[in-house]
Chains A and B, each alone.
Chain A
Amino acid sequence: MPIESLLVNTFNGLYFAALLFFASVGLTLVFGILNLLNMAHAAFYGLGAYVAVWTLNNAGDVTTSTVVLLAMLVLVIPLVVFVLSAVLDKTVFAPLYEIEHVYQLLATFGVILMLDDVIKFIWGASPITVDGATDPSRQLGAIDLMGVSVSAYRSFVILIAVACAVGLYLMFVKTKLGKISQAMSEDYEMVQMLGINVNRVRVLIFSISVAIAALGGALFVPFATATPAVTLEYVLLSFAVIVIGGLGSLKGVVVAALVIGMVRSFGIAYFPALELAIVFGLMALVIIFKPEGLFGDEGVVE
């Protein structure tokens, strides 16, 4: 295979892995630290996509500056969703922490159905594309990467994903919040007995996690289209990621996202007939041979 297509496929794989990372990292953190299996997690990815496409399409009257638009995607939208999810954590999600996984799974499936209709109520059911004038992906154009022309915007998304992963890692090993979170993932009750306000930690972890999913959706939309199908697609994909990587492991999410991204990218390029089966086949294989996932027996950041 020629070196150029090798590079392009690697780039595509990295980009897809970045999106998968955004959609699923919060899922694994919320599970690992707060012991909540939130099926609706990736639905916030879909929500982020819709909020972003709406924001970009209405920004045209005010500004078309690429920097401002990117700042909206990377900072403003996640911040808004952060606040929203703090509210949700105190209301809709609060009772879920008390029940067993199976019921968490089913109740949050109910949340997906509700959120889907909320999106439909606000934005309708037709696919929405970002207007050319305020589309950062189009504004930025292509850059030259080792002789191959690739999208500057998508490179930016990959960099943000890397930054996000590094940031999370540093948060867990350097900050107090991170250390408490790690301790909670190991022994929740002990942390509670130490007199730490676990509810505050819970809100923070939950909201950070959901905000990252929304960030992913926001970054996803300039290069794609916001459609009602996005939610369920990423719900399934994010579960595949955390199952392959191992529930509750940050490293697992990174590795699994890369594995799926690469396998899918090269798989589609060279064995197009297999596309539909790639992710599920991979997921089944991993569970059969390593039921706890690649890094499932490790802590959040080991």
Chain B
Amino acid sequence: MTKDNSRISRRHFLKGSAAVTALGSLAGCALLQEDFGTDEIDGIPDEPFRIVQMIFESGPPAFYGEEAMNASDMLVDRINDEGGLIGEREIEIVDRLDEDAGPDSLISDVQAMAQEGEVDMLMGIVSSAHSLAVAPAANDQQFPFLVTMPGTYQLFEENPDMEYVVRTAGSNAAGAVGAVRMVEQMDDVETVITIDPDYAWGHDHQEMFEAGLEAVGADVEIVESRYPELGETDYSAHVSAIADAEPDLLFSSLWGGDIATFVSQGVDGGMFEAVDQSLLIGDTGAPLLSSLGGSMPENVWLGGRGGYQPNYRYDEDEAHREFVDEYYERYDQLPGWGAYHEWMGFQALQEGVERAVSIIGDWPTGEQLTAAMNNIAFESPHGQHTMYGPQAAAPAVFGRPTDDHDLPVDHPLLGEFEFIEAAEVNPPEDDPTMDWVDELEPVTG
């Protein structure tokens, strides 16, 4: 990814003019004249910075969507209380589009927004499949798109040249390879059962976990891999099969309502007594512990890509403490992954605007803004959250449930945190994730 904006523009110009010649069409002129609201404006525009969020407002993943919407309302208020972006331009979330409408609608809406030029940035997306469909479309429309939640490692590997797309969520490699690193440190693990939701998220995690284990030469065998349907309501058949097999380790990337149902039925079926340890890495943490109340077994590790646990470095990190306290005060619950992902997104936006303005001395265009959000770092619960090119590399953080915490909730939170730094769980920039996982080096010592 380049930060030289003049070069980006020229390349686009050349692409455009070649096509015009080829087709002799008028449409090309329109394309070249199009701007997206912020082009060639001296100083800071008067109107607020307009964001449209794409998020699940209905359907099962709305669980994630709700947290994300809560957090973004809170963060927008907070930023605007200080005058807005760089203290000068307020943010307004002008619209929210329900991801449940499917990619057809989402892509069509991107086109409409690009056409009307009344939106400055698109933000959000929960589903990986939607991110893979919408990101190239937004890029085609030269419409800045800040992807905040989906984890598919394919986003930039399938579409390597997107200049209008950045993603502040860590790739799912962080969770899966983080789990491999955890297994490396465990003693007495020989047999493993995996259980993952039957769609790309689950299959990706399972594949990376399995390939990673093999690459680091761990002396373990995945004896069985299970794929319950997304939104499954009755896991009892899986639970009793796992309890029967008594594996040393249970690995799962189930998330949201699924992991809550699975764990609760697993407790009921005595599964956690039959299994020595579990690694539940589907963005698990406070919301899961809250919905399970006191019934969470203790021999599990929860977590995944990023230190998104309310009590993780809560005392040490002031920014994190403020975020958690404010969220709790406002919504009477602790922030979950959807909320943290949104926090990262808004920080990237603030940081990116600030950086662009300081370099060009002017309000950035959409492409300048996206370029400025590449290769930056900002504060997060796990220390610096670093973007390599357009993609964040998150560390993996896991913890065990414990009642020993200071937050004002009556359910367990995590403790005994294990932190695995980003470089250990993410491929170097430009390395294809699966190739890198296949060649994963063991961590010694």
Contacts and interface: CB of A to CB of B under 8 A. Distances in A.
Interface of A: 2, 4-5, 8-9, 12-13, 15-16, 19, 116-117, 120, 124-127, 129, 131-132, 137-138, 142, 149, 151, 154, 220, 223-225, 227-230, 233, 264-270, 272-273, 275-276
Interface in B354-386: none
A2 to B, nearest CB: 8
Interface in B219-265: 224-231, 233-234, 236-238, 240-241, 243-244, 256-257, 260-261, 264-265
Contacts of B293: 131-132
Contact of B234 (A2, A8, A19, A142): A19
Contacts of A12: 234, 236-237, 240
A228 B64 CA distance: 13
A285 B291 CA distance: 40
Given A151-B268, A228-B58, A272-B238, 16 more contacts: A2-B244, A8-B240, A16-B236, A126-B257, A132-B295, A223-B264, A225-B291, A227-B60, A228-B62, A269-B237, A269-B240, A269-B244, A270-B241, A275-B198, A275-B228, A276-B229
10 contacts: A16-B234, A131-B293, A132-B295, A154-B236, A224-B234, A224-B261, A225-B264, A229-B60, A229-B231, A265-B236
Contacts of A220: 233
Contacts of A269: 237-238, 240-241, 244
A157 B257 CA distance: 22
Given A8-B244, A275-B229, A276-B229, A127 B291 contact: yes
Nearest to B293: A132
Top 9 nearest A-B pairs (CB, nearest first) are: A127-B257, A125-B62, A229-B231, A268-B237, A132-B293, A269-B241, A272-B226, A8-B240, A12-B236
Contacts of A120: 58, 62
A117 to B, nearest CB: 8
B175 interface: no
A5 B63 CA distance: 35
Contact of B66 (A126, A233, A267): A126
A272 B194 CA distance: 11
A276 B66 CA distance: 28
A195 to B, nearest CB: 46
Given A272-B226, A272-B227, A276-B198, A125 B238 contact: no
B282 interface: no
B304 interface: no
Main secondary structure of the interface of A (DSSP, over half): helix
Contacts of A126: 62-63, 66, 257
A5 B260 contact: no
A186 to B, nearest CB: 37
A149 B274 CA distance: 13
Nearest to A274: B227
Interface in B390-440: none
A265 B237 contact: yes
Given A131-B293, A223-B268, A272 B225 contact: yes
Contacts of B102: none
Contact of A275 (B227, B233, B291, B294): B227
Contacts of A266: 237
B66 A129 contact: no
Given A127-B260, A129-B291, A273-B227, A223 B265 contact: yes
Given A125-B66, A129-B291, A225-B233, A137 B268 contact: yes
Contacts of B229: 275-276
A265 B240 CA distance: 10
A81 B141 CA distance: 50
B65 interface: yes
Nearest to B67: A126
B364 to A, nearest CB: 35
Contact of B233 (A13, A129, A233, A265): A233
A118 to B, nearest CB: 12
B59 interface: yes
B226 A129 contact: no
Interface of B: 56-60, 62-63, 65-66, 198, 224-231, 233-234, 236-238, 240-241, 243-244, 256-257, 260-261, 264-265, 268-270, 291-295
B286 to A, nearest CB: 13
Given A5-B240, A230-B233, A124 B257 contact: no
B264 A129 contact: yes
B337 to A, nearest CB: 13
Contacts of B265: 223-224
Contacts of B228: 268, 275
A220 to B, nearest CB: 7
Given A132-B294, A132-B295, A275-B228, A127 B237 contact: no
Contact of B261 (A116, A225, A276): A225
Contacts of B60: 127, 227-229
A124 B233 contact: no
A65 to B, nearest CB: 19
Contacts of A137: 268
B65 A224 contact: no
Contact of A124 (B59, B66, B269): B66
A66 to B, nearest CB: 16
Nearest to B64: A126
Contacts of B227: 272-273, 275-276
B403 to A, nearest CB: 14
A125 B234 contact: no
B270 A9 contact: no
A248 B333 CA distance: 48
A125 B63 contact: yes
A269 B59 CA distance: 28
A5 B233 CA distance: 21
A270 B269 CA distance: 18
Contacts of B231: 227, 229, 233
A220 B261 CA distance: 12
Given A224-B265, A227-B231, A15 B236 contact: yes
B293 to A, nearest CB: 4
Contacts of B226: 268, 272
A14 to B, nearest CB: 11
Contacts of B294: 132
